[in-house]
Amino acid sequence: MEDILKIENFKKYYKDVKAVDGISLSIQKGKTTAILGPNGAGKTTTVETLEGLRKPTMGDIYYFGEKVFEIDRKIKERIGVQLQSTTFFDNLTVEEIIRAFGGLYKKSIETNILLKDLNLEEKRKARMKNLSGGQKQRVALACAIVNDPDIIFLDEPTTGLDPQARRNLWEQIDDFKKRGKTVVLTTHYMEEAEFLADYIYVIDHGKIIAEGTVDKLIKSLNMNSLITFETLDFDSNIDLFNGDLKKVDDVYQYETDDVEKSLIKIFEYSKEKNFKIDNLKVRKPNLEDVFLTLTGRSLRD
């Protein structure tokens, strides 16, 4: 597989803050790579350095197989960027914004095509201030791909969106890959990384703590099924499963390879101790469990 972009031993220090502390990433052509981590992990610092918006304290960047010392015009023509928060001119229409962004590049995709591809035809004449959060994010995506880039950077593209709008945006982003584009995405939503990413770098406190495909990361846990439940009556002095029952936020969690037997045991125990079980679920481990196992914290902390 061809690495279209690489960064090696990248560090970014701000006075006493080690925002990124020695990470290396290889981005493969035609794939979606997610940088997954909680707030403050160093995701934005990393992608904005790759976009040429921040200078590394240390580290080497390779674009399209060549070491680069500056993200110059030539590279910028070939990358597309959606920043974490973009403020567009409120009074311009969707069409005007997309055209204005297109004007920044030597080549650009025709506005009509972008409006159609991003499902914005109906909103072509709408002013930015009158759009929903999801529609604004779609305009931001249109602007990120207006130059028909080879690599598209998306920094937390669905933060603040409702589940339906998030899902729609995921479909749009997945479409980029189907058209042969390379996508680099930052997110703190594990569902987003699971849905979109071919390869994931999990970062925390400026370092990579795990990497791999979703499958590989989850398999590395060696976990079978998880039974989770909530209860208002339970106190923390529990001996169920010899203390193997963990409490994460307000949810009790038990890992098992025999769901049926464990469920019976939990219900027997609830009867014996007279507590009421609520919101009981049986699920497979996910990326959140990977993060939790590695850091002892949840991604959303």
Ligand X SMILES: Nc1ncnc2c1ncn2[C@@H]1O[C@H](COP(=O)(O)OP(=O)(O)OP(=O)(O)O)[C@@H](O)[C@H]1O
Question: What are the residues binding ligand X (CB under 6 A)?
Answer: 14, 17, 19, 37, 39-45, 84, 156, 188
Comparison of 14 and 89: residue with beta carbon closer to ligand X: 14
Name which of 48 and 150 has its Cβ closer to ligand X: 48
Is the CB of 19 or the CB of 197 nearer to ligand X? 19
Beta bridge partners of 27: 5
d(C-alpha 259, C-alpha 73), whole Å: 57
Residue 45 vs 262, nearer CB to ligand X: 45
In the bound complex, what is the minimum distance in angstroms from residue 218's beta carbon to ligand X?
22
Q: Tell me if 7 sits within 8 A of 60, measured CB to CB.
A: yes
CB under 8 Å, gap of 24 or more: what pairs does 190-196 form? 190/36, 190/286, 190/287, 190/288, 190/291, 190/299, 192/34, 192/158, 192/166, 193/34, 193/36, 193/287, 194/286, 194/287, 195/170, 196/32, 196/34, 196/170
Distance spanning both ends of the chain, measured CA to CA: 35
For the record, the structure tokens of 35 come out as 């940088």
Provide the minimum distance between the beta carbon of 155 and ligand X in the complex, in angstroms, as a whole number: 7
- Of the pair 138, 188, the CB lying nearest ligand X is at 188
**Residue in the structure block whose two tokens are 């945006």:** 169
Question: Which of 172, 300, 214 has the alpha carbon at shortest distance from 34?
Answer: 214
Please report how close the Cβ of residue 228 comes to ligand X at its closest, in angstroms: 26
Q: For residues 44 and 168, which CB has a smaller minimum distance to ligand X in the complex? A: 44
List Cα–Cα distances, 67 to 4, 8, 174, 223, in angstroms: 11, 11, 29, 41
